[in-house]
Each structure stands twice: as C-alpha cells, then as structure tokens.
Amino acid sequence: MTLFFDSFASGIPLFAAALVGLTLLWTGWIKALAPHTFQRHLSTLGWIPRRRLPAAVTAAAAFEAGWGTALILNVAPAIILPASVVLLAALTAISWWGVRSGKASDCGCYGGFIQPSMAQSIGLNAVFAGLLITSWVMQPASMSIGLWQPIVVLLMAAAAGFVSDSAQRHARKTGIPKFTPSPLKVGASWRHAWARGATRELDGEVLVALLGPDCPFCKEWVRIANVIVQSPTLPKVIGVVGVPEKRRDEFVRNHGIRFPVQSISPSLMSRLTQTVPTTMLVEGGRIREMWSGRMPPEFVARFRRAFFPDAPEDGAGSSPTGDPVAVAT
C-alpha cells in the first residue's frame, strides 16, 4: 500500500505539468494549422507591424508547441515550471489589457474553438498556474533527462513553425486557407454561440450574416437587410461582426442598421469564414442554405414576391444588377 501511494504521489507532478502541456500543444497546433485566426487577433491589438504578423504567428505556433512538449516530457522542470508560471501571468495581463482597452474581446488563445470570457480566461490560467506550481513543489530532488527529450521538443517546435509558415504561404498564394476549420456547411447544425445567443429565441427562418465594418459589399447587404426586416413573410435577420462592441456600435450607427447585430471574437470570426458577407439561412437548428456575396437569384425572387406580388416573374421591373433594394425603392 505504501508503494502504491508513493507511486501515486510521484506521478502527481508529472500529470499536473502534462495537463498544462497538452493544452499548450493543442493551442500551438491550432495556430500552426489555422494561422489566420491568430493573425487576425494580433492585428486587432496593434502591437506588431502588419508586415511582421506572419513571422509573429509562426514564432508563436513554434514556441507554444515546443513549450507544451517540454512540459509533457518534463524537460528541465526546475527552469521550465517557474518560467511557465511567469509566462502565464504575462499572457494573462496582455489579454486583460486587450479586452479592457476594447481592442479585443477574448484572449485569442484557442483559435475560436472555445470562447472564454475574460473572467473565465483568467480562471483557466489561474488553474494552469496552480497545476504548474504543484508540479514544481512536488518534483523529486533530482531527475535524469535523456538527450532525446530536448530533441523531441525542438522537432515539435520546428514542425509547428514549418506548418504555420506553409499554411500562410498557401493563403497568400491562393487567397484561401490551406486548412479550413470552419464548421459552417449546408445541413450542419447551427450553434447559437456563433451569433452570441441572438438566434436562441427565434423560431422559423433566420438569416444570419457574417459582416465586416470595412467591407463595401457588406454595406450593400445592410441596405437589403434593412428592407427585408420590414416584411413579416421574410426571414428574421441577425448580423454578426468580429470586432469589439464599441466598433460594432459605430457600424450600426453609421449605417442605420435596423436589425440586431452581435459582436463575436475575431478568432471565432476567422474560424467561421474568411469571406464577408457570408449569409446562412437557418431553420430548425440547421443551416439550410449558405452563400457569400450577393444573394442568390431564388432569394431575390422571393424578396420581390414579398413586396411586389403582382410583378412578373421574368424579372421585368428589376434593376440591371438584380439588386432587390433597387426594386423595392
């Protein structure tokens, strides 16, 4: 029994550090596989020149993956563990400043896969710091380290950096991400968190549009949606922007938006789409239709019938571009 408890006690520091390490390894590879999400978060903070952002994202992915691997393998715990606590405190302070200043809405750590509030993020980091301190205090007096452990750390960091750089080069060359983690697909389930809960209480058809305050095509979409909300026979409309609430409020005010607009984190927006406006017709908890840019002809025809039921179906009387706003005004 004594041997069992001794083995259990000796395993606690390894498990505590490995748990934090697995989290860091996961977030590091999120940055490597989908670097555009973290790059967008860094750009909102405004600390790094735009031309340096790709290199900063690659460095962050490599460092985080290597850091997590070092914790998992228990490499140089007398140095890595206290340094990790200090780094966590520094990252928490940066995240707090970003949210408090209105430049960001979350820490940007998890690539949009989870969106903790600032309080939740601080709580998670406090738990991680507690695990690291526990591991540090309970470490055996001396532990041997094999040469293979730092080699694995370096290889993991190099792999994450290479994948991040490759993904960014592909995106610059083709205009689309190499790896697309977006869950938005026709027929997929709709999660209310993607619109910050704004769709939770709505029944029937709902048009959810992912918009950008600086997107000229989104301004056209707003004009159309402002007319759509006047018809009881057309879907309800919800707008979503990946900017802080202050910027969202300016967007709503400057464009006279008449439908609800929710603000989500830039990292979540980057995970959901790289193209705005992206619109989904949601019904019964699922994405029934989805498109980018202009509304498809069948929806334009439905719009026309709602406001002009006696108009001919062949498009007579429509604008040359098929813009339903031009028809309705």
Would residue 183 count as lying in a domain? no
Question: Where does a domain end: 145, 174, 203?
Answer: 174
Q: What is the pTM of this model?
A: 0.71
Same domain, residue pair 168 and 212: no
Question: Where does a domain end: 114, 145, 174?
Answer: 174
Would residue 185 count as lying in a domain? no
Same domain, residue pair 104 and 166: yes
Same domain, residue pair 92 and 220: no
Domain that holds residue 140: 2-174
Would residue 180 count as lying in a domain? no
Would residue 184 count as lying in a domain? no
Q: pLDDT band for 323, please (50, 70, 90 cuts).
A: low
Q: Note the pLDDT of residue 314.
A: 54
More confident residue, 236 or 296: 236
Q: What angle do CA 213, 216, 220 make, to 5 degrees?
A: 100
Same domain, residue pair 146 and 208: no
Same domain, residue pair 134 and 43: yes
Q: How many domains does the chain have?
A: 2
> DSSP secondary structure string, 289-305?
EEEESSPPHHHHHHHHH
Would residue 234 count as lying in a domain? yes
Please compute the mean of the pLDDT values over residues 266-272 and round it to a whole number.
Answer: 85
Question: Where does a domain end: 140, 174, 208?
Answer: 174
Statement: residue 9 has pLDDT above 60? no
What's the CA gap between 50 and 47, in Å, rounded? 9
Lowest pLDDT segment from 93-102, 256-265, 310-319: 310-319
Would residue 119 count as lying in a domain? yes
What's the CA gap between 77 and 141, in Å, rounded? 11
Same domain, residue pair 147 and 243: no
Between 118-138 and 77-100, two packed helices, what is the crossing angle to 10 degrees?
170
The CATH number of the domain where 322 resides is what?
A: 3.40.30.10
Same domain, residue pair 39 and 12: yes
Between 53-73 and 148-174, two packed helices, what is the crossing angle to 10 degrees?
150
Taking only the tens place, the pLDDT of each residue in 221-231 is: 999 899 999 99
Statement: residue 327 has pLDDT above 50? no
Only one residue has tokens 């094999």, namely 146
At 246, give phi and psi (nearest 5°): -60, -45
Q: Note the pLDDT of residue 141.
A: 60
**Other beta carbons within 10 Å of 101:** 12
Q: Where are the beta strands (DSSP E) in 242-292?
A: 261-263, 278-283, 286-292
Q: Note the pLDDT of residue 210.
A: 96
Q: Note the pLDDT of residue 321.
A: 39
